[in-house]
Amino acid sequence: MPLTKQTVADIQGALREEGFDGWLLYNFRGSNIFATRILDLPSHIMQTRRYFYFIPAKGEPRKLVHGIEEWNLDPVPGTKSLYVSWRSLEDGLKTMLAGVKRIAMEYSPRNAIPYVSNVDGGTLELVRNTGVEVVSSANLVQRFEACWTEEQAQDNFECAKHLRAIVDETFAFIRQRVSAKHRLTEYDVQQFMLKEFEKRGIWSESDPNCSVNANSANPHYEPTKEIHSEVKKGDFVLIDLWAKKKKDRSVYADITWTGFIGDSVPEEHQKVFDVVKGGRDAGVSAVKRAFESGKEIRGFEVDDATRGYIAAKGYGEYFIHRTGHSIGEVIHGNGANIDNLETRDERRIIPNTSFSIEPGIYFPGKYGVRSEIDIFVSPKREAIVTGLPMQDSVVAIMK
């Protein structure tokens, strides 16, 4: 549904909490995903011209739209002004922001959080030329775009259970095929997981991953029908699967497990897994301690806890990606990421949001170990690990 008066009131309350005078949503041909999602305009509307939608901390929202698309923002609350020329656009923007000092936009200083940086530099110059200070809307975006409803949370819990069951089914499938000496490939394993998705009424916009040996050292490897490796006895195998229920506004679950196709796991593989597991658990503990004690915790701080553990064990240089990502209606969501490596994510972790914790250690040309779990922070500020039980050791698949 398009933005309602109640949501506007909720946003205004958040603006006052943050100390902002307003939130300016700008869009041009879908350039700002957050304006698109928050305003939630009817899909049939043709949008070929720039528009601005300003939500002040107090008072009625204001719209600035082009004369040939003057009805585009009619589904959402607020007063309307029109522009036609670039001069009237600039004049209209000055009028819209008259008396305003500090506003939020989809901008991140130094592009620190690229997920939020949806407004181009030229538009920022245009807005700043009116005399306002522009600050990042990162925390507002998380609050009004990344938070789950109760229904979404329940759907996620169910989906996480399905994924956890599919892990066991997939390892059993590998065991059966290898024991029977049938030829097996990463692609075959991937297709088995997809069939399990279909049986359980879940789906993904991209296919799950099975990677063996050196392929598992590539964190974003995915087999295809044309490009894949065989899966054989004596191989190290990593499976990464993510999915959501087949319904509108459902949210993802995302887990990664590892196994060894043999009766027992080589000592080296288990040693590395234990370090990955220790880092994973350090991140989980940091989140749980913070919420149990009523303290704020930010995405980069959880990354520090996980990465610090792995670095202390001597494997820091092999942990080459962030600890985790926000999860929502898209697999890489728009809330706080667990990151102080690729970016420094200073957004607070807040209730009704979810994120992964998935440290990995990768040895190029050999193998890579990753363990991924998801955490949902409940309305009661409980840090809940979904898709239990977590992996405690590398699975001996042939045992």
Q: So what's the pLDDT on residue 386?
A: 97
Question: What CATH code would you report for 147-396?
Answer: 3.90.230.10
pLDDT at 147: 96
Do domains 5-145 and 147-396 share one topology? The answer is: no
Q: Check: CATH 3.40.50.980 for 5-145?
A: no
pLDDT of residue 210: 98
Report how far apart, in Å, the C-alpha atoms of 298 and of each of 112, 145, 210, 217, 332 are.
Answer: 14, 18, 32, 29, 17
Q: What is the pLDDT of residue 333?
A: 94
pLDDT of residue 1: 76
Per-residue model confidence as pLDDT tens for the chain (399 residues): 789 999 999 999 999 999 999 999 999 999 999 999 999 999 899 999 999 999 999 999 999 999 999 999 999 999 999 999 999 999 999 999 999 999 999 999 999 999 999 999 999 999 999 999 999 999 999 999 999 999 999 999 999 999 999 999 999 999 999 999 999 999 999 999 999 999 999 999 999 999 999 999 999 999 999 999 999 999 999 999 999 999 999 999 999 999 999 999 999 999 999 999 999 999 999 999 999 999 999 999 999 999 999 999 999 999 999 999 999 999 999 999 999 999 999 999 999 999 999 999 999 999 999 999 999 999 999 999 999 999 999 999 999
Task: Please name the helix (run of DSSP H) or strand (run of DSSP E) that holds residue 373, with its range, or none.
Answer: strand 373-377
In the chain, where the domains are located: 5-145, 147-396
Which residue in 154, 164, 139, 159 sits closest to 379, CA to CA? Answer: 154
Q: Give the predicted TM-score (pTM) of the model.
A: 0.94
Rounded distance between C-alpha atoms, residue 278 and residue 273, angstroms: 8
Q: Which residues pair with 344 in a beta bridge?
A: none
Which tokens belong to 232? 């054989």
Note every long-range contact of 95-99, with CB atoms under 8 Å and residues 24 or more positions apart, other chains counting.
Answer: 96/52, 96/54, 96/62, 96/64, 97/22, 97/24, 97/54, 97/127, 97/130, 97/131, 97/132
